[in-house]
């Protein structure tokens, strides 16, 4: 498959998908005095997988054993998420990128290919821009930071007063009512999330059952979203991916971040590949895990890792960004007929 090619297919799960919770266990290390949880397994070139807002490394668990056949897989629980500690701390994207650098340092990993989903894609892009000498490839999955649009409920939660309303909205009676109403909500549009994303997003929401989890969620959310939408953009630095093998994967029925953000990113990132999953939402690695791994492994096998060149990096910085307006509507390229 040529770089820059767009492929649109109907994907289905592979029959050999495995349960990664058994194959790639969760381990813990203290870093900067905070407990950090991460999944580590497999062998081969290192592959870092970063989850999204309110999620955890468990989002990758079912595909890690297969990826681990050819790669050393590293899937952290971001600070404030999953089984990692939930302190009063800095939850900005740049802080998370530094956290990834430090985790790799603890694991004695110098360079890595990075896969990021949603918020994790923003962290992955920040990591690539902030530490180019450590990033070999970049994979963006339903990524944040590529445009202002985001689901209205996230904008609402980022607004004032959520410290009061979120504990009420996640109280045991409300959680119980939501579980009972879930079938009805699902059949009536899933609060705008659609059938692909509703169940998993609801499950993540119901896990905000402690004050620490809610505070970490709000701090992370508000670092990147306000009432008007996403406030952080990675588009202004997208030209820095010149020479960095980049794959963009997105579900065409994404109910959290619209698929047009994928088209913007593909236009702005020189030489990137774009893979659209026709029957998938915000979590293509859930909706089509077998094909997701096929696409990812093909990308990793057919691209050459970036070799950091400080002279080229300075030249790119001096030349400045390619002018791709953040709000520009980009028409999807004509899909290929690839199988």
Please list, in sequence order, all residues whose beta carbon lies within 8 angstroms of the beta carbon of residue 33, skipping any fewer than 6 positions away.
Answer: none
Render 248-305 in DSSP notation, one character per residue.
Answer: EEEETT-SSS-THHHHHHHHHSTT-EEEEETT--S-HHHHSHHHHHHHHHHHHHHSPP
**Residue in 62, 117, 253, 282 annotated catalytic:** 282
Render 78-101 in DSSP notation, one character per residue.
Answer: -TTSTTS---S---SHHHHHHHHH
In the residue annotation, 298 being an active-site residue is answered as no
In the residue annotation, 118 being an active-site residue is answered as yes
Render 292-315 in DSSP notation, one character per residue.
Answer: HHHHHHHHHHHSPPP---HHHHHH
User: How far lies 333's CA from each of 8, 140, 299, 336, in Å?
Assistant: 10, 18, 20, 9
Rounded (10°) angle between helices 172-187 and 194-206: 170
Query: 48 and 96 in contact (C-beta within 8 Å)?
Result: no
Query: 194 and 255 in contact (C-beta within 8 Å)?
Result: yes
**Residue in 118, 151, 197, 266 annotated catalytic:** 118
In the residue annotation, 211 being an active-site residue is answered as no
Query: 132 and 108 in contact (C-beta within 8 Å)?
Result: no
**Residue in 254, 272, 285, 287 annotated catalytic:** 254
Query: 273 and 246 in contact (C-beta within 8 Å)?
Result: yes
Tokens of residue 175, six digits: 């959680």
User: What is d(CA 173, CA 1) in angstroms, rounded to the nearest whole number?
Assistant: 52
User: What is d(CA 332, CA 218) in angstroms, rounded to the nearest whole number?
Assistant: 34
Q: Taking Cα atoms as reference points, which of 19, 63, 54, 13 lies closest to residue 201?
A: 54
Which residues form the catalytic set? 118, 254, 282
């Amino acid at each position: 498959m040529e770089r820059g090619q767009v492929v649109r297919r109907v994907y289905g799960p592979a029959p050999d998908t495995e349960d990664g919770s058994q194959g790639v266990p969760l381990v813990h290390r203290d870093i900067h005095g905070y407990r950090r949880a991460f999944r580590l397994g497999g062998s081969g070139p290192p592959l870092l997988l970063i989850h999204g807002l309110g999620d955890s490394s468990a989002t990758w668990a079912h595909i890690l054993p297969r990826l681990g056949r050819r790669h050393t897989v590293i899937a952290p629980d971001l600070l404030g998420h999953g089984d990692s500690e939930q302190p009063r701390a800095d939850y900005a994207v740049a802080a998370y990128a530094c956290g990834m650098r430090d985790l790799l340092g603890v694991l004695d990993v110098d360079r890595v290919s990075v896969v990021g989903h949603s918020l994790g894609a923003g962290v992955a892009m920040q990591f690539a821009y902030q530490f180019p000498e450590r990033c070999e490839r970049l994979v963006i999955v339903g990524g944040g930071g590529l445009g202002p649009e985001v689901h209205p409920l996230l904008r609402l939660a980022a607004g004032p007063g959520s410290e009061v309303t979120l504990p009420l909205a996640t109280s045991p009676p409300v959680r119980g009512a939501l579980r009972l109403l879930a079938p009805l909500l699902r059949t009536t549009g899933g609060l705008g999330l659609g059938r692909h994303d509703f169940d998993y997003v609801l499950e993540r929401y119901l896990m905000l059952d402690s004050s620490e989890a809610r505070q970490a969620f709000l701090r992370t959310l508000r670092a990147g979203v306000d009432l008007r939408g996403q406030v952080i953009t990675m588009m202004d630095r997208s030209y820095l991916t010149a020479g960095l093998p980049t794959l963009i994967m997105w579900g065409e029925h994404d109910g959290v971040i619209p698929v047009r953000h994928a088209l913007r990113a593909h236009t702005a990132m020189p030489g990137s590949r774009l893979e659209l999953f026709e029957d998938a939402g915000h979590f293509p690695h859930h909706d089509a895990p077998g094909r997701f791994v096929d696409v990812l492994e093909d990308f990793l096998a057919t691209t050459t890792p970036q070799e950091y060149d400080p002279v080229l990096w300075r030249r790119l910085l001096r030349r400045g960004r390619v002018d791709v307006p953040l709000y520009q509507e980009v028409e999807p390229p004509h899909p290929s007929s690839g199988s």
